[in-house]
Structure 1
Amino acid sequence: MKKILLLALPLAILASSCGRFGNKEIDGKKDMRIVCLSKQLTEYVFALGKGHNIVAVDLSSTYPDSAKLLKTVGYHRALAPEPIIAMNPDLVIHSNDIGPENVLPQITKAGLNIKAFGGANTIDSAKLLLKELGKFFGTENKADSLVKVLDAGIAKAADTLKAMGIKDSLRVMIIHFGLRNNNYFVMSGRNGVGDKMIRLAGCTPATYDGKGSREMSAEAVALSNPDVIIATDYGYDKMGSMDKFIATVPGVALTNAGKNRRVVRFEEHDLIYFGPRSGDNIIKLINLLHNPASAPTK
């Protein structure tokens, strides 16, 4: 009877009975098998020269290109424990934004080592995260260099904007297609990273009074009336052209952006955290938002 009951136990409970790692603190300076459940952590670990330790990532980890070659364990907000456990990791790292709520207790109970790092929602927090990871991996000098790259990039973007002598502030909205909800929603208007980058690009986030990712309000989009809409790449490509995006996404055709065909395409993940590439990304935004000739025409 005991053998039958043992075979019926869930994988996570069986793993916890083994306690292979015991959730003890491990030495980040040694090579290990890491499952990374955060796109910014993936980019940062590669930038610190430790990307060879990562054996699997979540679906949102698409930078650098090397990350696209790794196995994936699901979307970071809709994870299941089994794919993570199956990677036999020495360490699982995340940024306190994984879900559903039960997945973290399950992989903890399975005996995996788990370590949470900070976010990168501001320039200062991005620099702190780089230093935190640098200390953990024993790459402090590299982390300091990346912090300098970040600062220099932001300064260069500010100089680029100043040199353009822009006086009028365009109202800008970010519209994203969420894979988890299988729907378009407005990413901007809530003082997130996207809004901060819009401001750094010399524009103003269009005010959006809607229901976020649960439901996109055509009326709220129309009332916000952005001059330019940033469509994240997957959602833009899903429509196949600017005209289809304008005609199909709720409320867009009623805005100045829709009427003047001012919809630009941008990589989603470059708008939702800061990092060493942020200066270059802001300069790209400056050129897209203030130079209509650089926008897609199809």
Structure 2
Amino acid sequence: MIQPHLKPRWLLGIILLGWLLAGAPLAHADEHRHADGRWLVLGGDIAETLAALDADINVVARDDTVLYPPEMAALPSVGYLRQLSAESVLSVRPDHVLAAGHAGPKEVLEQLEAVGLEVALINAPPSLDAIAEKVRAVGQLSNRRQTADALATTLNEKLDRLANLPALPPTRAMFIMQHSGLTPRAAGSDTAAHTAQEAVGLENAFAEMQGYHSVGAEALAREAPDIVIVSERGLAAMGGEDALWQLPGMALTPAGRERQLIVIDDQALLGFGPRTPDQLLSLRQDVEALLGITATAQLSP
């Protein structure tokens, strides 16, 4: 249970924890010592993992990427994960900072170390294989080892079920993360969205480009996606489904002609946190429904 208010303690000694998927166990993880005090959580996946473990720690603040669960999203924010300031962090008087490995800038973390703040970094690679180990790392720091082991096993079982599903018929998908003007911003390779598409058996129509890029009418017509996947926030930003199908070039695609659309929760699906395996199975179910395939994906055994 996350408790938003406890008696404050001032800053403790620094323990900087590195975590590698293939590496050794977390160093200096004294569970009972780390579970006390006031915690600042940085990173949506880390916050979701704490919530999934029902970690009984006193989280007093977060960063802007923490949007779930609602009780953490309602806490004060210290700013964006990658653009922190020491002043903002210290203003919430934390004893511990539990952060995703890409938190920064590095100079700010060094400033926090210099004043004696305890920081734990979890440097998990952005991959599905890393989810279970990330859960175990957070469980070790929050005195939830057994719960974390059980959850990690369950998450791996779900990913294994997904990997063993029958192949889909060749299906090209376009993943729109956000939208600017009349040009959708699509996911290419080397993105979490690309990983998600591959995991459910879809072909990324824009895999030849790397990262997220705006794509115009000519590219849409050329790559001809069969399905459009868009985040809830992205669809709202562009004005809803009708506005999506009116984008230049969209009517020239199979997806546009058939209005084949799947709307997803981008943080749950792409955050590579404990909600991701279920979200992938749900996405696979939605794809099967659009393609008229007998359901093969199940959310529970």
> Which band: TM-score by shorter chain?
0.7 to 0.9
Q: 1:140 aligns with which of 126, 141, 145?
A: 145
Alignment map for 1:96-245 (pairs within 5 Å): 96-100=101-105, 102-119=107-124, 121-158=126-163, 161-162=165-166, 167-177=168-178, 185-187=185-187, 189-210=188-209, 212-213=211-212, 215-218=213-216, 219-245=218-244
Question: Per-residue CA shift, 1:189-210, capped at 9, x if unaligned?
Answer: 3243322322232211223445
Q: Post-superposition shift, 1:253?
A: 4.4
CA 1:108–1:247 in 2, change beyond 3 Å: closer, same or farther? farther
Q: 1:270 aligns with which of 262, 268, 271?
A: 268
Q: Which runs of 5+ in 2 are unaligned?
A: 1-9, 16-27, 293-301
Task: Tell whether 2:69 aligns with 1:64.
Answer: yes
The percentage of aligned residue pairs carrying the same residue is 27
Q: Post-superposition shift, 1:27?
A: 4.4
How many pairs are equivalent?
266
Alignment map for 1:27-38 (pairs within 5 Å): 27-29=30-32, 30-38=35-43
Q: Post-superposition shift, 1:173?
A: 2.1
CA 1:67–1:120 in 2, change beyond 3 Å: closer, same or farther? farther
Q: Post-superposition shift, 1:269?
A: 1.1
Distance 1:77 1:94 in 2: 11
Distance 1:51 1:185 in 2: 40
Distance 1:252 1:111 in 2: 55
TM-score (norm 1): 0.76
TM-score (norm 2): 0.76
SS of the equivalent of 2:154 reads helix
Structure 1 window deviating more from structure 2 (48-57 vs 34-43): it is 48-57
CA 1:256–1:93 in 2, change beyond 3 Å: closer, same or farther? same
Distance 1:194 1:258 in 2: 20
Q: Which runs of 5+ in 1 are unaligned?
A: 1-18
More helix by share: 1
Q: Post-superposition shift, 1:178?
A: 8.1
Q: Is the 8 A contact 1:59 1:76 kept in 2?
A: yes
